Each structure stands twice: as C-alpha cells, then as structure tokens.
C-alpha cells in the first residue's frame, strides 16, 4: 500500500514539474483536448464549425467585436463570451438560471424586471449551443438571431423605466449601440461576411439545386434534341446537312455553349461527373438528366434556342441575341463574385 502511494506521489510530482514548464496557453490546450476526449468517449458528438470570424459592430476604434461561427448545418452562432461582453457583462456567465419553474433562459435575461418584456418564443430560441471550434475545442454560443432580440428586451424595459440604472443601465446603452449596428444589414449577412461563408454559401446551394437536374441512373436513350436544332445549326454554320451524315465533332463544343452552359450554373460539369461516376463515355450527356427537372428544363431551353435560330441567317447575330436572352453561366463562382449573381434561379 505504502509503495503504491509513493509511486502515485512521484507521478504527481513529475506531472506538476512538467506542468510548471508549460505556458498558460499550452496548459489550456492540453486540458481542452482531454475534455474533448472524454466527451467523445461518452458517445456525444458536437456540431462542427466550418467558418469562424470576428463580427465588428460600430467604428473600428471603439466598436464591439464578437467572435462568431457558422456550423456545418448552416447555423450561425455568436460565442457565449462574445455575447456577454457585447452586452457589457462579465465574460463568463454563471450558467443557466430559472426565474420560473418551466421557463429556461440565459443568465442575462433572468432578472425579474425583464420578464414582462420577454416574448414567449424567446424562451424557446435562446438555448445555448455547444459546438466544436475549428481548433477542435468545445465552445459555447447562441444563435446569431438571438442578440438583436435580447437588445430589444433591454430597450423596451428601458423605455418603460423599469431598469436598475446601476446594474442594467449600461446594458441598455450597449443594446442601443448594437441595434444601430444591425440596422443597415441583417445579422445573418454580417456573420456570413465576417466568416467568409458568403463565398461558400452559393456553392452549397448550387450543389443541392443541381442534384435535382441529375438522374440517379442512366435513362433509356430517346431522341431529345429535335431535328430542327441540327438542321438550323448546320444552316447557320454553312454545313451541308445530309440524312446519312455524321455531325462534325466541334458541334459538341457548340452545343455545350448554346445549351448546357446556359440552363444552370455548373450543370455541364455535374452531368459529366455523373456520367464518369456511373456510366460510360459513349453515353449521351442528356441521358443523365432527371425526368422531374433536368429533361423538362432542357426541352424548354432547346425550344427557345431553335426559335431564335429560325429568326437568323447569320450565326454571330444569333449567338449575340442568345447571349442577351440566356447568357452562359461560368463553371463556378469566383472568390470576388457577388453572391447574388450565384443565387439559385427561381
């Protein structure tokens, strides 16, 4: 027994010696890693942050800075400590408190004089969110939409003259500053800009949109491109059309330009990838369009293209008008593209 206690004491001394050589940040990182390991061992999985940034409200010198993140499911969150500091409170909350048996609210909303100004649905949307930061550490936060509503509670209470000046007056001042900062741009847009998520969101929306165009399996081959399409394309290109002729290979590149790049952004690439993953090079691209959306949109676009072809005798004039009516989409949005230009077509 004595030998075991002696060994344990020596191990503790060794641990203390190693800890004394570590910086404060290193000790925090080790403790956080151990906590995360215990969390995962318990079988609990946290939503992960995909983007992080700093949300700045007000001018650069005296404004308020709030750490924020976007989670893998698209939820925008503000860190707990950031919300507390933004409201002029201590960085760490004292945990959840109850002022009613069946109402659960953050600590900064539990004062009894605030109760008449808290809408019922706020008690549902104010739940704390635990998530895994990009560093791998566990973090705590609140939905970004919550902060403007908290500000509204304090401003309403201040207008009613029920706030305690010494302990709550400064919170009302901060709330007014925050509300003014949110006035021009919605809180969601601010978080997206702070984290860089605004450049990724169009891509994610586009991926879901394109799925609707693609068939899960190869459709049986049926004639999809009308004969008039090739007839008028040959006419405009000055190519003699014969019943037994094989169309020039470059017509495929022309069709990519006239058709596939103009129906939806990234559609041509998505169709080629689907054919490569599940089909053969000999399969026609249109055989991978879905019956629900892909094929109907293709036929609608082809009808418009053929109609324009019939109006022209010059290919360049036809192409110029097509560019005006149905301009081609680039393959993917650039880093500095306006996200509005990449919104999913309605």
Model confidence pLDDT, tens digit, residues 52-76: 988 887 665 567 888 999 998 888 9
Average pLDDT value for the chain:
76
pLDDT computed for residue 177 by the predictor: 85
Give the count of alpha carbons within 13 A of 37, CB side only. 6
Q: Which of 94-98, 132-136, 294-298, 340-344 has the lowest mean pLDDT?
A: 94-98
CB atoms within 10 A of CB 315: 16
Instruction: Decide which of 84 and 14 is more confident.
Output: 84
pLDDT computed for residue 110 by the predictor: 83
* Averaged pLDDT, 101-113: 73
Q: Which of 5-14, 173-182, 235-244, 288-297 has the lowest mean pLDDT?
A: 5-14
The dihedral sign for the CA sequence 156, 159, 163, 169: positive
pLDDT computed for residue 344 by the predictor: 43
- Phi first, then psi, for residue 291 (nearest 5°) are -70, -30
R_g of the chain computed on alpha carbons = 30
Cα end-to-end span (Å), the chain: 76
Question: How far apart (Å, rounded) are the C-alpha atoms in residues 206 and 269?
Answer: 12
- Phi first, then psi, for residue 131 (nearest 5°) are -150, 170
pLDDT computed for residue 155 by the predictor: 93
Instruction: Decide which of 182 and 204 is more confident.
Output: 182
pLDDT computed for residue 186 by the predictor: 63
pLDDT (tens digit, 9 = 90+) per residue, 277-305? 888 888 888 888 888 888 888 888 888 99
pLDDT computed for residue 131 by the predictor: 93
Give the count of alpha carbons within 13 A of 167, CB side only. 7
CB atoms within 10 A of CB 22: 12
pLDDT computed for residue 316 by the predictor: 94
Q: Predicted confidence band at 103 (pLDDT cuts at 50, 70, 90)?
A: low
Instruction: Decide which of 147 and 104 is more confident.
Output: 147
Among 72-76, 203-207, 333-337, name the most confident range: 72-76
pLDDT (tens digit, 9 = 90+) per residue, 148-181? 889 999 999 999 999 999 889 999 999 888 888 7
Q: Are 332 and 203 in contact (CB under 8 A)?
A: yes
Burial of 301 (0-12, 13-18, 19+ CB in 10 A): middle
Q: Predicted confidence band at 317 (pLDDT cuts at 50, 70, 90)?
A: very high
Among 11-15, 88-92, 161-165, name the most confident range: 161-165
pLDDT computed for residue 346 by the predictor: 37
Question: How far apart (Å, rounded) are the C-alpha atoms in residues 34 and 192?
Answer: 31
Q: Are 313 and 252 in contact (CB under 8 A)?
A: no
Q: Are 69 and 79 in contact (CB under 8 A)?
A: yes
pLDDT computed for residue 71 by the predictor: 92
Question: How far apart (Å, rounded) are the C-alpha atoms in residues 99 and 11?
Answer: 46
Q: Are 77 and 146 in contact (CB under 8 A)?
A: no
Instruction: Decide which of 134 and 182 is more confident.
Output: 134
Instruction: Decide which of 335 and 63 is more confident.
Output: 63
| Domain residue ranges of the chain, discontinuous segments joined by + | 49-195, 204-342
CB atoms within 10 A of CB 109: 21
Question: How far apart (Å, rounded) are the C-alpha atoms in residues 258 and 304?
Answer: 11
Cα torsion for 280, 282, 285, 287, to the nearest 10°?
-80
């Amino acid at each position: 027994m004595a030998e075991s206690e002696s060994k344990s004491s020596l191990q503790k001394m060794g641990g203390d010696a190693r800890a004394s050589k570590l910086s404060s940040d290193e000790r925090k990182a080790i403790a956080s890693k151990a906590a995360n390991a215990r969390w995962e061992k318990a079988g609990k999985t946290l939503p992960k942050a995909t983007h992080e940034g700093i949300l700045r409200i007000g001018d650069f010198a005296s404004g308020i800075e709030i750490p924020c993140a976007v989670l893998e499911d698209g939820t925008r969150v503000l860190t707990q400590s950031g919300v507390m500091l933004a409201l002029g409170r201590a960085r760490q909350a004292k945990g959840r408190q109850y002022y009613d048996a069946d109402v659960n609210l953050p600590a900064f909303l539990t004062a009894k004089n605030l109760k008449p100004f808290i809408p019922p649905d706020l008690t549902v949307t104010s739940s704390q969110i635990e998530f895994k930061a990009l560093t791998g550490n566990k973090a705590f936060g609140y939905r970004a939409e919550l902060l403007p509503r908290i500000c509204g509670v304090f401003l309403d209470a201040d207008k009613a003259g029920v706030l305690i000046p010494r302990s709550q007056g400064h919170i009302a001042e901060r709330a007014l500053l925050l509300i003014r900062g949110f006035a021009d741009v919605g809180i969601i847009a601010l978080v997206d800009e702070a984290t860089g998520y605004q450049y990724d969101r169009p891509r994610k929306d586009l991926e879901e949109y394109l799925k609707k165009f693609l068939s899960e399996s190869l459709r049986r081959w049926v004639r999809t491109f009308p004969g008039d399409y090739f007839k008028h394309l040959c006419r405009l290109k000055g190519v003699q059309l014969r019943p037994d002729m094989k169309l020039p290979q470059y017509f495929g590149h022309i069709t990519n330009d006239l058709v596939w790049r103009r129906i939806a952004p990234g559609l041509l690439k998505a169709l080629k990838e689907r054919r490569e993953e599940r089909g053969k090079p000999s399969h026609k691209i249109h055989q991978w369009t879905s019956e629900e959306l892909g094929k109907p949109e293709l036929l609608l676009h082809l009808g418009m293209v053929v109609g324009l072809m019939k109006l022209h005798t010059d290919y360049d004039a036809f192409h110029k008008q097509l560019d005006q009516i149905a301009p081609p989409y680039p393959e993917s949005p650039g880093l500095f593209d306006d996200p509005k230009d990449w919104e999913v077509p309605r």
